[in-house]
Structure 1
């Protein structure tokens, strides 16, 4: 498990007064044991405090955080003064959970959510008790105002659905064609996957609410209790069509996601494209032979993939994809076994024995079918791309 780290932006380089911080934490979260760690564990540039049976480290960095344009741009959507706070800060504190507070004690390791809750509580106490707190960057990805932290961190230990998940993750809206979608940043720390939500016919507010509800549920209940890949949600009061769930990679290069998308093509967004293009079908010797004996037809459903063109920059096929298809086909015939089968098939065709020709080439037709199936799966899961993915577009 990787412990979450919070970065507290300061207008001046100073460590918190331990007694004042602990007093604030006891007042804000009276159900947990708070206290200073042993004196031998303290240093000039760090403080350790006890949170129950665990330690929380607070380290002072006497320099600003490295500037990340995307982080603060996203933060500014709900915190208009985000860029101003970043420009003003001169130092920052790093806050994270550590090991056991008791020497030689067998304290259970914190889970991600437990570590998150403890760190959140301490950061909230810091914002309340430390002068000059300008903002917080959670895990270096989520920027939030001190006012939001002061209020929502009081619920650090609240159960689902009241946990302050908005401090821990971002919801990023985007547009694909006429459809408004959104993906999360930070949810994967809890679930191993982000959410990518793209359902036709919803406005940006409704999309954000849906993604927030799904995120809160997954954080509170765990990914094992979430929707399985291949599940289908029926229409409800806001969505008038079926929604498909798929565990795949993100087309925005944010890693594995739980994808929610319209199963029914209500807006005419889906088109069908060949996996093996006509040019390769006409010219590759294996496909030419299979076509002669009726074992390959590029127009068959097995060779088609349904894609949304508005997910891509254009409908110009990627050379790398077609080159990979050609290389895979060539690898199938680069054997003595195929050379013999090809010779036998040609002789059978010359004598009018179509059945024997088909029988000779049947194993390679099956290999081509497996290639098509693998390519279709890769394209569906965004492990492969037929076209260049479109960049993120703001709604």
Structure 2
């Protein structure tokens, strides 16, 4: 399981964020979060490693400006185009990026994800060159979606912006359809692979998304061999296995129809 997250904010051209404007944007968008430039760095929040440091509550957020594109990852951008057709174009055109991370690990992964999401949303609100965000090397989303959903960073369960952290990708099976997640491993050590020959696609995605949120909130509470669901006619079986299709540890879920 991940012990910390790293986000990459893709830029049309390299820029260094205005940390004063960033702190003001975080306070404006999330007034419940005490935010200031870290006085332990310099008077403009510049760390000795070239990163800029923001204090949010008792946590430090580092923002580093990198004057180069991120490494190529065709799989990442292929997944992104499922819901975002322009993803490959944005990836090809960006010329710089910002690294965003939390210093220290004295909070839960969900708390860290919420905090980083809030700061990234404020970055996008103040840096016009932002074009996309890559979350923890697994999920790529357009900047405008981040700007919108990041306002829900501290919303209560189940309304926090998990689609920025976890992809839910449909696929066809021999007997029906399925959906697999990408990004959930960081929270609970496994992805979800759900297969059905009975449910329509929208219902399948709704079930997988609901399970994603539940696991992020409660941790790895599903055990190998468990069942869950609304009633006796909708029980979903769970097995721990290595996915035959995707080669990674998954909660393999079936509803008795596949």
TM-score w.r.t. length of structure 2: 0.91
Change (3 A) 1:235 1:219: closer
The structure with the largest helix share of the pair is: 1
Matched, 1:50 2:55: yes
1:242-321 residue pairs with structure 2 within 5 A? 242-263=235-256
Does the CA contact (< 8 Å) of 1:15 and 1:46 recur in 2? no
The runs of 4+ residues in structure 1 deviating greater than 4 Å are 233-236, 239-242
Match of 1:82 in 2: 87
Does the CA contact (< 8 Å) of 1:76 and 1:83 recur in 2? yes
Distance in 2, Cα, partners of 1:171 & 1:63: 29
Change (3 A) 1:229 1:49: same
1:115-264 residue pairs with structure 2 within 5 A? 115-224=112-221, 227-233=222-228, 242-263=235-256
Distance in 1, Cα, partners of 2:110 & 2:247: 21
Structure 2 residue matching 1:6: 3-state secondary structure: strand
Change (3 A) 1:206 1:95: same
Aligned-residue Cα RMSD (Å) equals 2.0
5+ residue gaps, structure 2: none
Distance in 2, Cα, partners of 1:59 & 1:139: 15
Larger radius of gyration, structure 1 or 2? Answer: 1
Shift of the alpha carbon at 1:74?
1.2
Distance in 2, Cα, partners of 1:134 & 1:254: 31
Shift of the alpha carbon at 1:258?
1.1
The structure with the largest strand share of the pair is: 2
Task: Single out whichever of 79-88 and 158-167 deviates more from structure 2.
Answer: 79-88
Distance in 2, Cα, partners of 1:75 & 1:157: 25
Distance in 2, Cα, partners of 1:205 & 1:95: 34
Distance in 2, Cα, partners of 1:75 & 1:201: 27
Shift of the alpha carbon at 1:175?
1.1
Matched, 1:27 2:24: no
Distance in 1, Cα, partners of 2:48 & 2:194: 46
Distance in 1, Cα, partners of 2:97 & 2:81: 19
The aligned length equals 253
TM-score w.r.t. length of structure 1: 0.61
Structure 1 residue matching 2:215: 3-state secondary structure: helix
